[in-house]
């Protein structure tokens, strides 16, 4: 697991993996963090930073969802970070693209490792799209995930900086 380097605030969770089957292993990640202008953003391996319009309340809800105790057996739960939100200023998404980001946490078998997936979909120019190779962490390090979620919760509950 690679979560390193971001200890001061926000949620950053990383791992080593291959985004596409058969491709080289790389550092993959997802992040939810405060922007320098005190807005909030979502970032993922190939997407780049994009606005998180739900702001601190959504960031706090995401952190609490991550901190909830996982069921013992098989499970899969989802959290909707973005739901058809218009995008602008992204290097990777066309202006006006509607982006949906779902985060899944689950376990395929009782006693097995937890996994994490980030599913991206949306609409551009009236045409739907889906990223068919989701970001996937096959073995969640629960302690690192919870540490990152606790940092996010603390940051989301902290009042914004005022210059």
DSSP state of 39: -
The enclosing H or E element of 153 equals helix 142-157
**134, two tokens:** 């989701």
Residue pLDDT, tens place only, 6-58: 445 689 999 988 766 777 888 888 999 988 777 899 988 878 788 888 999 99
* Nearest by Cα to 44 from 4, 66, 11: 11
Rounded CA separation 40/116 (Å): 22
Q: What is the pTM of this model?
A: 0.86
pLDDT value at residue 161? 65
Rounded CA separation 120/30 (Å): 12
Rounded CA separation 58/69 (Å): 19
């Amino acid at each position: 697991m690679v979560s390193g380097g971001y200890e001061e605030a926000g949620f950053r969770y990383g791992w080593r993996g291959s985004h596409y089957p058969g491709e080289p292993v790389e550092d993959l990640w997802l992040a939810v963090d405060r922007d320098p202008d005190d807005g909030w953003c979502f970032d993922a391996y190939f997407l780049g930073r994009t606005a998180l319009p739900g702001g601190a309340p959504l960031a706090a809800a995401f952190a609490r969802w991550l901190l909830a105790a996982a069921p013992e057996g098989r499970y899969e739960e989802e959290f909707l970070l973005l739901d058809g939100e218009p995008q602008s200023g992204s290097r990777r998404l066309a202006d006006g693209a509607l982006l949906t980001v779902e985060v899944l946490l689950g376990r395929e078998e009782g006693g097995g490792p937890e996994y994490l997936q980030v599913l991206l979909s949306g609409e551009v120019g009236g045409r739907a799209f889906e990223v068919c190779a989701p970001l996937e962490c096959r073995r969640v390090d629960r302690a690192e995930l919870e540490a990152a979620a606790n940092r996010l919760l603390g940051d989301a509950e902290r009042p914004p900086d005022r210059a």
